[in-house]
Amino acid sequence: MADESAEKTEQPTSKKLQDAAEKGQIARSKDMGTAFVLIGSAAAILIFGKMLAMALLDVAQRMMQLNPKDIFETNSMFTAWGAVGEYIIPPLAGIFFIILLAGFIGNTLLGGFNFSWQAAAPKASKLNPLSGFKRMFGLQALVELLKSILKVLVVVGIAYLLLKMFFFDIMALSLMSEPNNIESALYFLAWLFLGLCASVSVIAVVDAPYQKWNHIRQLKMSLQEIKDEYKNSEGDPQIKARIRRTQMQMSMKRMMQEVPKADVIVTNPTHYAIALKYDQGKFRAPVVVAKGVDEVAMHIRKIANEHKVPVIESPALARSIYHTTELDHPIPEQLFAAVAQVLAYVYQLRMYKKGKGNRPKALAKELPIPEGYRH
């Protein structure tokens, strides 16, 4: 179990970051989301502001006009409201779409899109007064307070500069006639709004790297935590080594059970031993059913002698098969000729022992093994 008092100096692992994300703990900058929403709103007004102003003007004119025919028409009010929707809905839809898009980008740009049921679930710790007191007077609260003061100073300063810059233009609106005064008013309003929003983005530029750094700092791990995580995810090295040994023993046992079924054992004679089996109706080529070096090779030869499986000494062929053929795989075509001579000798020897043929000639010391297959 990890020591909670240990110094956390190591960067969080990918698993720690993933577990934190599943709990809803990701880097988020509220100021960045706010800045994107505000700038998106200002941009939307700049794009659709003129259309919205003309729509409002048309609505005002439509609602202010009194037609005698409409007085006696019972559905005139519903018709008027339908016209209002036809005028206003398109520009408002465009504005709302840009705001929603800006809000989504601003809130997912830093930490990405993430939804966690664990974060959404109610927690009793959030209702604990002591925890709330710590949050109110902690480091994070102090940072938020400083950001709020900085935001007020920046916004007030930028607002003063913008009003000073556009003061005479705003005063001139009273001298203009409609609809130019409405368009100009919305134009100045949008640019003033955009300037104020840009001032908020200055805070976001500072806050986003801080939130990223603070998120990583909170998730830092000690060396013991990293070791424990590795054990939990990868398994205890001692247990894994024991499992590997058990698997090797089982594999060795299965391999040794195949040795009595082999047609021939090709040896080095002491360091290598290869058990070959050839079933003409089943295999296209002889298959390696067992192989090993040193102690394993000695065990293969011992089992072969106990079950009277022919053991043939051919050092070059034994080394070649061992290094080029995997267990339970057929030998490569380049070794067909050499192995065919060995099998032919074994079959003739078997027939001779049964009294059905002449004694075979001794196996050639140099078998036809290509240069690329000599080891």
How is 246-287 classified by DSSP, letter by letter?
Answer: HHHHHHHHHHHHHGGG-SEEEE-SSSEEEEEE--TTT-SS-E
Structure tokens at 114: 């993430």
User: What confidence score (pLDDT) does residue 116 get?
Assistant: 60
Least confident of 12-16, 156-160, 186-190, 293-297: 186-190
Domain boundaries, the chain: 14-114+125-232, 252-373
* pLDDT tens digits, 15-71: 777 777 777 677 777 878 888 888 888 888 778 877 887 787 777 777 766 666 666
Report the sign of the C-alpha dihedral through residues 22, 27, 30, 35, in that order. Answer: negative
List all residues 6 or more positions away from 199 whose beta carbon is below 8 Å from its beta carbon.
154, 155, 157, 158, 159
Least confident of 119-128, 177-186, 318-327: 119-128
User: What confidence score (pLDDT) does residue 118 get?
Assistant: 57
* pLDDT tens digits, 320-343: 888 888 888 888 888 888 888 888
Strands 264-267 and 272-277: antiparallel
Instruction: Please tell us whether the domain made up of 252-373 is placed in CATH 3.40.50.720.
Output: no
Q: What is the mean pLDDT of residues 349-366?
A: 76
Neighbours of 252 (CB within 10 A): 14
User: What confidence score (pLDDT) does residue 114 get?
Assistant: 66
Q: What is the pTM of this model?
A: 0.44
